[in-house]
Structure 1
Amino acid sequence: MVWLSVICSILLLLAVYLIVKIFLIKKDIAGIDREFNEKLKADTNTLITVDGKDKTVCRLAADINEQLKVLRKQRLKYEQGDLELKSAVANISHDLRTPLTAISGYLELLEKEQKSQDAERYIGIIKNRTETLKQLAEDLFRYSVITSPDYDSPKERLSVNSVLEECIAYHYNAFRQAKIIPEIHLPEITVYCNMNRVALNRIFSNLIENAIKYSNGDFCVELNDKGEITMSNMASELSTVEVSMLFDRFYTVENAKKSTGLGLSIVKILVEQVGGTIYAKYAAGKLITCICLPLAI
């Protein structure tokens, strides 16, 4: 009986020891998990620390710290590369705009001179290509501006209804040339948001131009009283994969030869800068773009 009591006491002590050990290990793992998530969210050089002495847990923390160091180096490399890319884009756009302006000026002078029918046709082709290059340079410049860390656009209380109507009216000739009669649905109440007027115009203009470019002959826009805008059109030339990448920087679909792939990327940046959301989907041959802008209080 004495030996049985001793064995029971030893087993009890062992059970208590294991329970405490497991509790401490779980506590350390929970601490590692918490610190790991904090390190991922914050740009910090600190590493994960462990209060316990369990070798396995300490080894786990050490392995995670090594991966955090690698991840930090990759993040810094990416951020540096992104800054260099934006700087290069700004410089390239600036270098392109100056000579293109000069070329446009000389072309206007040439148009006033006497010339043969062939020369007039060639000048027309050059002028058309020059305008395309000017638009590409403008997209590059605008992208470099809005992605600059110092970019801060003044905001005002705007009527989304009015700005949207103005943009649609501005593109009247483009709709007419594409033989599109836009279908417009606006709420009876006025929807307001706090945004920069130029930025909101740019958002709507880029989306409308994109819709016209890929439309099969229709265009529908709807604004509701919650600040949600939906633009849709049939676009048989697109695919689900292409639509999923429309907002990616520098991405262009195969038949968009006159595009930098920055127009919709600029739209996404401008929408997200004010806390809004935007996405596109493709269903039954129809391109649907949905925007949600935060309402002004």
Structure 2
Amino acid sequence: MWGWLFGFLALTLLLYLFFLKRELRKLTYKAKEIPISAGYGSKLYVDFREKSLMQLVDELNQMIEAFEQKNRQAKQMEENVRLSIAGLSHDLRTPLTSIHGYIQLLHATADETKKVQYLTIIEHSVRRLMEMADRFYDLARIETNQKEIVLSSLSLSSLVEETFLSFYEQFEEKKIELQFPEQAVNTPIIADSVMLVRVIQNIVQNMLRYADSKAIVRYEPDDRYLLFSVSNDIKPGSKVAIEKVFERFYTEDASRTNTESSGLGLYLSKKLVEKMNGKMNARMKDNWFILEIHFAVHRI
């Protein structure tokens, strides 16, 4: 009887080892194929339901998920770079062509009045190129996680007023009336001062391009966030695709013939706000375009 029992146990052990070795060979073969053939959502599996083996497969599947996530991030970054290069090429062409054309006119004319006019246009185009270069530089640093963040307690209302008023002449020129809250809002927020100024500048520049005659700044503090909202009426005939305003290279003009806009301002602003642990959204109400930004409040 004992002989039969030992024989049965020996046969069971041999079968166990046989199936275990077979599954390990299959896993080894599949693991070698992962770098070249693994698709999104691919998983390893075993037919032999042994606890230790299943734990090993679970660990391997977690590694595969991490590998595929890295692949997705790499492909997304690749696509972002491709879009950036395409957008950069398109947007730089217009001001460069303008500069080249007016330089030719400058050389060809002896009229001092026209020379001053041409130089003013060239200066404007150069400033535009510098602004675009700054935005593309910011974009590259954000999307490669190279932009450092230094969070501190800041007065949002002070920075907003200071930045808006630095564009006072442009608002006057375009006859856009600015309206600030009657009472100061001193609620401090947690943000990066450099990033915050860039966000406000982008919002102002967007407003100068698309506002019709009026812009309103509001603040709504609560225990966790300070809501900063900026609204402006839009020009008659303007068509704003509200669901696309935060997309890369989106401009109101679908043909992107607007030489004043690269379509990166609000895209960058949203990225910067999120880097500072805030939220940014946009909506339309009647004929008004409204941007709403939530900044974390500094609790003293």
Do both share a fold (TM > 0.5)? yes
1:283 aligns with 2:288: no
CA distance in 2, matches of 1:232, 1:83: 30
CA distance in 2, matches of 1:186, 1:277: 25
Aligned residue for 1:224? 220
Greater percentage in strand: 2
CA distance in 2, matches of 1:266, 1:259: 13
Structure 1, unaligned runs of 5 or more: 1-43, 54-64
Displacement of 1:128 = 2.8
CA distance in 2, matches of 1:216, 1:87: 30
The residue type paired with residue 238 of structure 2 is: L
CA distance in 2, matches of 1:163, 1:250: 27
Aligned residues: 232
Displacement of 1:125 = 3.0
Aligned residue for 1:244? 243
CA distance in 2, matches of 1:282, 1:50: 54
The residue type paired with residue 149 of structure 2 is: S
The residue type paired with residue 79 of structure 1 is: Q
- Per-residue CA distance 1:155-203 (angstroms, 9 max, x = gap): 2210112111111221211211111221111655511112121211111
CA distance in 1, matches of 2:135, 2:263: 9
Q: Rate the CA distance shift 1:136–1:151 in 2: closer, same or farther, 3 A.
A: closer
CA distance in 2, matches of 1:248, 1:230: 20
- Decide whether the 8 Å contact of 1:214 with 1:237 is kept in 2: no
Give the TM-score, by structure 1 length: 0.64
Q: Rate the CA distance shift 1:195–1:120 in 2: closer, same or farther, 3 A.
A: same
Aligned residue for 1:265? 267
CA distance in 1, matches of 2:176, 2:77: 45
Aligned residue for 1:78? 75
- Per-residue CA distance 1:36-88 (angstroms, 9 max, x = gap): xxxxxxxx9983658997xxxxxxxxxxx9xx899769725523414644885
CA distance in 1, matches of 2:66, 2:188: 46
CA distance in 1, matches of 2:295, 2:149: 16
The residue type paired with residue 238 of structure 1 is: S
Deviates more, 1:191-200 or 1:123-132: 123-132
Q: Rate the CA distance shift 1:128–1:166 in 2: closer, same or farther, 3 A.
A: closer
Matching of residues 139-288 of structure 1 within 5 Å: 139-185=135-181, 188-226=184-222, 227-235=226-234, 236-239=236-239, 242-254=241-253, 256-288=258-290
The residue type paired with residue 194 of structure 2 is: V
CA distance in 2, matches of 1:295, 1:166: 20
CA distance in 1, matches of 2:70, 2:145: 21
SS in structure 2 opposite 1:122?
helix
CA distance in 1, matches of 2:68, 2:206: 37
- Decide whether the 8 Å contact of 1:279 with 1:289 is kept in 2: yes
CA distance in 2, matches of 1:228, 1:69: 37
- Decide whether the 8 Å contact of 1:86 with 1:144 is kept in 2: no
- Decide whether the 8 Å contact of 1:187 with 1:223 is kept in 2: no
SS in structure 1 opposite 2:217?
strand
Aligned residue for 2:124? 128
Aligned residue for 1:293? 295
Identity of aligned residues (%): 23
Displacement of 1:230 = 1.2
Matching of residues 38-77 of structure 1 within 5 Å: 47=43, 75-76=72-73
CA distance in 2, matches of 1:189, 1:83: 39
CA distance in 1, matches of 2:203, 2:48: 56
